[in-house]
């Protein structure tokens, strides 16, 4: 009996979206820039790497313990909220709202909270959830589609960004006039042909 992919498309969409959100959450960037953040706070790189590793491992162990007690959805919700809060901490640390030791606490704390939040939910729970939400008759193919989304994260991200660039191109082509070598009156006439000039 052939599979009805249209019938199963909502669950495949959920799985694909979860893996895309996992990658787009910024975890790779946080890992990549964590050493820089710690270094700017005066923390040696080996201590920084060890701290991130210990927090990551601790979060994974906590997730293992709480997964069956709190449920997958609860851990995912808490994880995404924790990551959002940690990015908020980073944003405040990078602004002019705080200074001195507060910047160090917010930036280093933000990195560690992000890693902990990711490790407690979005990291380990997503893969487990996928294996549970797909019916057995489509599990292999659906997992393949979702994993393709996961591995093509940069492709999707850059495609979205390229799309915005194309929108920008079309917007400028349609709405922006050339101002080089033109007077203000000529520019206004080009932008507002029916408007009455007041010059």
pLDDT above 80 (res 157): no
Residue 47: pLDDT band (50, 70, 90) is confident
Residue 194: pLDDT band (50, 70, 90) is low
CATH 1.20.1440.230 fits 5-151, yes or no: no
Residue 1: pLDDT band (50, 70, 90) is very low
Q: Which of 60 and 176 is assigned the larger pLDDT?
A: 60
Q: Is 40 left (phi over 0), alpha (psi -120 to 50) or beta?
A: alpha
- Its pTM stands at 0.72
HSE on the CB side for 33, CA within 13 Å? 13
Distance from C-alpha of 64 to C-alpha of 70, rounded to nearest angstrom: 11
Most confident of 7-11, 118-122, 188-192: 118-122
pLDDT above 90 (res 36): no
pLDDT digits (tens, 9 = 90+) for 81-118: 999 999 888 888 877 777 777 877 888 888 999 999 99
Residue range(s) occupied by CATH 1.20.1250.20 in the chain? 5-151
């Amino acid at each position: 009996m052939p599979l009805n992919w249209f019938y199963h498309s909502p669950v495949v969409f959920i799985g694909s979206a979860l893996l895309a959100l996992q990658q787009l959450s910024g975890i790779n960037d946080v890992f990549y820039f964590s050493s820089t953040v710690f270094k700017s706070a005066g923390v040696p790189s080996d201590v920084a790497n060890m701290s991130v590793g210990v927090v990551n491992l601790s979060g994974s162990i906590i997730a293992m313990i709480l997964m069956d007690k709190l449920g997958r959805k609860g851990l995912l919700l808490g994880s995404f909220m924790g990551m959002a809060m940690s990015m908020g901490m980073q944003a405040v640390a990078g602004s002019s709202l705080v200074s001195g030791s507060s910047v160090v606490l917010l930036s280093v704390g933000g990195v560690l909270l992000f890693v902990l939040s990711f490790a407690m939910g979005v990291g380990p729970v997503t893969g487990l959830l996928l294996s549970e939400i797909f019916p057995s008759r489509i599990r292999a193919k659906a997992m393949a589609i979702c994993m393709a989304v996961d591995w093509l994260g940069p492709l999707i991200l850059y495609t979205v960004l390229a799309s915005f660039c194309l929108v920008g191109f079309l917007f400028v082509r349609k709405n922006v006039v050339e101002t080089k070598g033109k007077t203000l009156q000529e520019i206004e006439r080009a932008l507002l042909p029916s408007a009455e000039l007041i010059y």
